[in-house]
A and B are shown apart, each in its own frame.
Chain A
Amino acid sequence: MSTVLQNLVNQPYRHGFVTDIESDVVPKGLNEDVIRLISRKKKEPEWLLEFRLQAYRHWLTMQEPAWPNVKYPKIDFQDISYYSAPKAKKKLASMDEVDPELLRTFEKLGVPMHEQKALAGVAVDVIFDSVSVATTYKQRLAEVGVLFCSFSEAVRDHPDLVRKYLGSVVPAGDNFYAALNSAVFTDGSFCYIPKGVRCPMELSTYFRINTQESGQFERTLIVAEDRSYVSYLEGCTAPKFDTNQLHAAVVELVALDNAEIKYSTVQNWYAGDEQGIGGIYNFVTKRGLCRGINSKISWTQVETGSAITWKYPSCVLLGDNTIGEFYSVALTNHHQQADTGTKMVHIGSNTRSTIVSKGISAGLSNNSYRGLVKIGANARNARNYSQCDSMLIGDKCGANTFPYIQVNNSSAQVEHEASTSKIGEDQLFYFAQRGVGAEEAVSMIINGFCREVFTQLPMEFAVEATKLLGLKLEGSVG
């Protein structure tokens, strides 16, 4: 019986192809010269090079964290190439001049790069290895004053904004991987929503790692000015290689007075094969700062890929009456390991946070929720509600919950609920006895289990997420 289950969750990885494209790759290894080279290639201003070098020097003094509940061989940071870019023949003036091989790659992945073909209402920034290759709908967004471009362009065209906010949420020395990213990040997305503007379309970044021995270190910075709103989507895939690749991104969100940022991720990096060979190490720092009063930041993530996931999208609730939310589905199979969760740091008064985490473990995988809820001494009337549910498929996988709760103000209300369930033979037999086969049964059970999170996703993403889990929506919309 468990083989039926195993087959069901073992949907083959569809994005595992490699694009044959000429790349400009910096030789492996990391030192100050490499960082200067990256900075020079990107024609960066002096202050940014300084930012990188300081981060690098700090990184050298740091230890790789050992506390996550994951196991992997020590990473040789000198065996990684820190820059890989598709060779551009000349400067691109429009989408039509993008290398057709690249366009085909993203078409295969279902990412629309041609604006006329694009999903209505979604602007896309596409990151291929280390650089951003295209951003759609720029013109239309510019009309309402929304800036949405690659990080490199932002450094060039809006240096003051970048300088003001870069590192303001995740400081260069925040943690081992954030420091590494700050030293070597190559590109990413930048998004700025001016005062009072409700972004007219969903913004989306699509990340693709193509080169075998390169790491991907991108940086995303989103700033929402007073009374603005933006919904941002992030998707990720990578080819199948039998070596592990490092993805160490940093995402910073800043919400000012009465602003709202909704950040959704469907992560489908290559997870390694059935024996656990290859796959992406996804060591990412994501943090949002609710700086202004009444602001709100909401993270929704569906984590299905990666050999190892190690990330905690967090909210720092600085302004009074601010709201932080975290909705997560993490699916692990085979030898995958996930140690993921969130941090909700309440600093302002009347701050509220909600955490809903759904972990699904199958095969020999290990899935941990780790979350911190911290109520500061001045956070009067803070509230948190956390719910962590685990589901086990088969009997060789593991699920753990590590909640940390620190309360320094007696007016706080903190709730934590946790549950563990299992898709068992008896459940599948119950479905079968009502005429429903195992595949549809598992689909329905998992959809039901994840429903609270899926309803938080924008429509197209919800569909993609459901498909990603190898499931059909049929029946659960009742």
Chain B
Amino acid sequence: MNRKSVLEVRRLTARVAGVEILKGIDLTVYAGEVHAIMGPNGSGKSTFAKVLAGHPSYEVTDGEVTFEGRNLFDMAPEERARAGLFLGFQYPVEIPGVTNSSFLRLAYNTVQGARGKDELDPLEFDDYVQDKLKLLEMDPAFLERSVNEGFSGGEKKRNEILQLAILEPTLAILDEADSGLDIDALRIVANGVSRLRSPDNAIILVTHYQRLLNYITPDYVHVMDEGRIIKTGDKGLALELESRGYDWVADEFRSRQAA
């Protein structure tokens, strides 16, 4: 069976405010796969996620990225989203005055429209969203609150996963979906993500810690350092990183480079 490629990244370099952060990334993700990207602070993990989503502060200097065969850099950020690329934010912004329900419905209908599917009116959408709320054990009253305003860290993260569940993207890139969560919230978020795993979509988990991977078993674990992927392994690598830290991977990489 031919595997369907979702994302192909070749020699990607990018900078922000004149500083080169990504220094040549290669990565291929197929449908049905879960990739974890780990690495120390400042290694470029979040930058990689934002560059893929098209954040305007980041400048791509070289390399190619195709998303389901299309040149990703030909697409505006909103076109990428409509085409099925989803970024779960590490720090979701607050949007005062805009209710979650209207925001979610606008996002859903925009993406549905781009897929040539019918939009939902407020009542239909409410039915649709109630099921998703249950999945994430969220109080329906939460829909009437302003987007992320006054949310706790855990609520913000759950809201990101709720949006993921509503938009059903082809590729979900979750940037530190687990940071700042207590153990119950972590379980809920992780279960939410696991339930969305399917043979047709792919997930990239950007994370510091191994603990999220106890709930979502990745097919590949990549270690990023100084803007490059320096080692790729399986779930076992994540456990090894947890016990040994990152330094040995970097040392190993440097000695390989020197050789």
What 1/0 mask marks residues of chain B from 159 to 177 whose CB sits below 8 Å from any chain A CB?
0000100010000000000
A309 to B: closest C-beta gap in Å: 23
A267 to B: closest C-beta gap in Å: 22
With both chains docked as a complex, state the minimum distance between the C-beta of A105 and any C-beta of chain B, in angstroms. Answer: 37
Residue of B nearest to A449 (CB): B97
Binding-face segment, A208-216, A367-375, A405-413, A433-441: A433-441
Give 1 or 0 for each of A441-453: 1 = CB within 8 Å of chain B CB: 0001101111100
A287 to chain B, nearest CB (A): 30
Alpha-carbon gap, A398 to B57, bound state (A): 24
Interchain CA distance A474-B102 in the complex, whole Å: 9
CB distance from A434 to the nearest CB of B (A): 4
A478 to B121 alpha-carbon distance, docked (Å)? 9
Query: In chain B, residues 43-89, which have Cβ atoms closer than 8 Å to a Cβ of chain A?
Result: 53-57, 76-78, 80-82, 86-87, 89
Tell me, yes or no, whether A427 is within 8 Å of chain B by CB: yes
Selected interface stretch from B27-35, B107-115, B196-204, B250-258:
B107-115
A430 touches B95 (CB 8 A): yes
Whole-angstrom CA separation of A419 from B57 in the bound complex: 27
Quick one: which of B98, B110, B163 contacts A445, CB cutoff 8 A?
A: B98
CB <8 Å contact, A448 and B99: yes
Minimum distance in angstroms from B160 CB to a CB of chain A: 10
Q: Quick check: is A142 within 8 A (CB to CB) of the other chain? A: no
Residue among A447, A448, A450 with the most chain B CB within 10 A? Answer: A448
Which residue among A424, A435, A477, A478 has the maximum number of chain B CB atoms within 10 Å of its CB? A435
Chain A count of residues within 8 A CB distance of the other chain: 29
Residue B122, interface by CB 8 Å: yes
Q: Select which of B81, B97, B98 is within 8 A of A433 by beta carbon.
A: B81
Interface readout for A225-238 with B: 1 if CB under 8 Å, 0 if not?
00000000000000
Complex contact A478–B56 (CB within 8 A):
no
**How far is A411 from B96 in the complex, measured between Cα atoms in Å?**
34
Query: CB < 8 Å: which of B86, B102, B107 contacts A476?
Result: B102
* Most B CB within 10 A of own CB, among A1, A429, A433, A445: A433
Nearest Cβ on chain A to B118's Cβ, whole angstroms: 16
How far apart sit A306 and B25, CA to CA, in the bound complex (Å)? 54
A303 to B54, CA, bound (A): 36
Q: Which of A425, A434, A444, A450 has the most CB of B within 10 A?
A: A434
CB distance from B143 to the nearest CB of A (A): 9
Answer yes or no: A37 CB below 8 A from chain B CBs.
Answer: no
Q: Looking at B89, B93, B105, B163, which has the most chain A CB atoms within 10 Å of its CB?
A: B93
Q: Does A421 touch B at the CB level, under 8 Å? A: yes
Across-interface contacts of A424 in B (CB, < 8 A):
93
Q: Find chain B residues with CB under 8 A from A419 CB.
A: 96
A444 to B97, CA, bound (A): 9
Q: Which label, helix, strand, loop or mixed, suits the secondary structure of the A interface? A: helix
A-B interface pairs (CB < 8 A), number: 87
Q: Are B78 and A435 in contact (CB under 8 A)?
A: yes
Interface residue? A426 (CB, 8 A): yes
Complex Cα gap A307–B86 (Å) = 43
A478 in contact with B101 given A436-B110, A448-B96, A448-B146 (CB within 8 Å): yes
> Of residues 100 to 143 in B, which have CB atoms within 8 Å of A's CB atoms?
101-103, 105-107, 110-111, 114, 122
**B-chain residues with CB within 8 Å of residue A435 when the two chains form the complex:** 78, 81-82, 107, 110-111, 114, 167
Scan A393-428; emit 1 where CB is below 8 A from any B CB, else 0.
000000000000000000000000001010011110
B42 within 8 A of A: no
Chain B residues, CB < 8 A from A426: 93
User: Is A451's CB under 8 angstroms from B106's CB?
Assistant: no
B95: chain A residues at CB < 8 Å are 427, 430, 445, 448
Please state if B56 and A425 are interface contacts (CB–CB under 8 Å): yes
Q: What distance in Å separates the Cβ of A384 from its nearest Cβ neighbour in chain B?
A: 23
B92 at interface, CB cutoff 8 A: yes
Cβ-defined contact, B102 with A475, below 8 A: yes
Q: How far is the CA of A475 from the CA of B98 in the complex (A)?
A: 9
A433 touches B93 (CB 8 A): no
A434 touches B76 (CB 8 A): no
Contact status of A429 and B56, CB under 8 A, knowing A435-B81, A475-B102: yes
Q: Does A60 contact B (CB under 8 A)?
A: no
Residues of B close to A477: CB separation below 8 A: 102, 122
The 23 listed contacts between A and B (C-beta, < 8 Å) are A426-B93, A430-B92, A430-B93, A432-B54, A432-B76, A433-B54, A433-B78, A433-B80, A433-B81, A433-B89, A436-B106, A436-B107, A444-B98, A444-B102, A444-B103, A445-B97, A448-B97, A448-B99, A474-B106, A475-B102, A477-B102, A477-B122, A478-B122
Q: A434-B111, A444-B103, A475-B102 are in contact. List 20 more A-B contacts (CB 8 A).
A: A426-B93, A429-B53, A430-B89, A430-B92, A432-B76, A432-B81, A433-B77, A433-B87, A434-B103, A434-B167, A435-B82, A435-B114, A435-B167, A436-B106, A440-B106, A445-B95, A448-B95, A448-B96, A450-B97, A477-B122
Sorted nearest first, the 10 A-B pairs with minimum C-beta distance are A448-B97, A478-B102, A434-B107, A448-B98, A432-B77, A435-B110, A435-B81, A475-B106, A432-B78, A435-B111
